[in-house]
Amino acid sequence: MDRSELFDEFVRRLNGFDSRAAADPGGEFIEITRWEGAPLVPPVRLAIDASSLERHLHALEGDGAEVFPDAPPPIGALQLFLVHVGEEIETRGPDDELLTLHGDDLSFLGNAP
């Protein structure tokens, strides 16, 4: 699976479980407007593109294989990253909008380590 297909698969999976997400036309972020049935106001903007997603998933492959041993490594990493995104969304503050990667850490801008 090339990086573009992996990015498309990530967006597709973000849209599961009564959630809504769309990549911006420039490919610099993904806007998430609904998460597990709840509207997100303000929407979450995940600052990620196909290249940075590919790098991050590569770094997560070992952990993804432990958590999702039956999935191929890139998909296990993708599933684990979805868990991380969900955790950040569910624990965000009322003004948190921009979700970013800082090395291997995912956090809302202003809450970066």
Strand, helix or coil for residue 25: coil
Q: Write down the domain spans for the chain.
A: 3-108
| pLDDT per residue as tens digits for the range 24-60 | 988 899 999 999 999 999 999 999 999 999 999 999 9
Percentage of the chain modeled with pLDDT above 70: 96
Contact 45, 99 (CB under 8 A): yes
What residues are paired with 32 via a beta bridge?
Answer: 21, 44
Q: What are the residues facing 107 on neighbouring strands?
A: 100
Q: What is the 3-state secondary structure (H, E, C) of 33-98?
A: EEECCEEEEEEEEEECCHHHHHHHHHHHHHHHHHHCCCCCHHHHHHHHHHHHHHHHHHCCCCCCCE
